[in-house]
Amino acid sequence: MMSPDACAGSRILVVGDIMLDRYWFGEVSRISPEAPVPIVRIERREERLGGAANVARNAAMLGAQVGLLGVVGADEAADTIARQLDELKIGRFLNRDPAISTIIKLRVIGRQQQLLRIDFEEAPTDIVLRDKLTQYNALLPQYDIIVLSDYAKGSLVNVADMIASATRLGKRTLVDPKGDDFSRYAGATLLTPNKSEFKRVVGSWRDEAELTTKAQQLRQTLRLEALLLTRSEEGMTLYTDAEVLHTPAMAREVFDVSGAGDTVIATMAAMLGAGKSLPEAAVLANKAGSIVVGKLGTATVTSEELFG
């Protein structure tokens, strides 16, 4: 059994698409006379770190030493993100791009249900991305585990260069992938696609044997040490050279799956940084994911919950 402070020695650099998740909670008591939609009277507002910032938050909540590198706008949402990172003692390396707005996901919640989500997003400019890559290379020596959190918002266009640089320095790279082409993630230590992302890349499968064949073929083609497939209610499966390890889902009640992938990869990073093996880390990541889906919104898991 690990102690709650076991991850204190983990040094993790999270790089990717930084977002701010806004939640507006309210009462729904009538339908609008203007259109057949509910009227939500807002009573409470919350702001939480989202995207790559939520990965950093999850790792920090497990006690790891975390840095976050990414692009934000020169706006009040970026100020809010900076303030929350400071409160969590996460090292912040925010490249502010005055030409864009910080990515915001605004969710309107009524009667404990999400009624609407509004996204504000723009791709970063080339100049800021070049500056970020230079800063990334300067930061690499200070960290052991690199997490690349790709939400396909433009911050990780240089992901192949980032993986190559980390590999040259002997760093382990964990990638939460997006899109239908995983070739740019070649050479990473670990990829953590969910079932739908994986299916988009390799196609469908008839049975577990065919799934294993496709997963191992992809892992070998991309020269990955491991591939961790998150399968929602079916749990997670870790594919390595040595074994195929399946851990069934543990969630008693699924309340909200948003951010569960962030929790899984953050837990993997924290555990690997603390000296755990890939199979050991996968079992704990599965437990963390099972805990977090029982909470509303982009939530986190504490060391006490994970090891208690």
Kind and range of the H or E element at 271? Answer: helix 260-273
Contacts of 240 (CB under 8 A, 6+ apart): 219, 225, 226, 278, 279
Which residue of the set 17, 21, 150, 262 is catalytic?
A: 262
Q: Which residues pair with 116 in a beta bridge?
A: 108
For tokens 């969590």, the residue is: 88
Measure the CA–CA gap between 212 and 13, rounded to whole angstroms: 31
Write the burial class of residue 22 (CB in 10 Å: 0-12 exposed, 13-18 middle, 19+ buried): buried
Contact 278, 238 (CB under 8 A): yes
Contact 21, 50 (CB under 8 A): yes
Contact 307, 5 (CB under 8 A): no
- Measured CA to CA in angstroms, residue 282 lies from 225, 278, 305 at distances of 14, 6, 16
For tokens 């790891």, the residue is: 64
Measure the CA–CA gap between 190 and 179, rounded to whole angstroms: 16
Measure the CA–CA gap between 256 and 58, rounded to whole angstroms: 16
Is 262 noted as a catalytic residue in this protein?
yes
Contact 262, 21 (CB under 8 A): no
Q: Which residues pair with 66 in a beta bridge?
A: 12
The angle at the Cα of 87, spanning 83 to 89, to the nearest 5 degrees, equals 110
Catalytic residues: 262
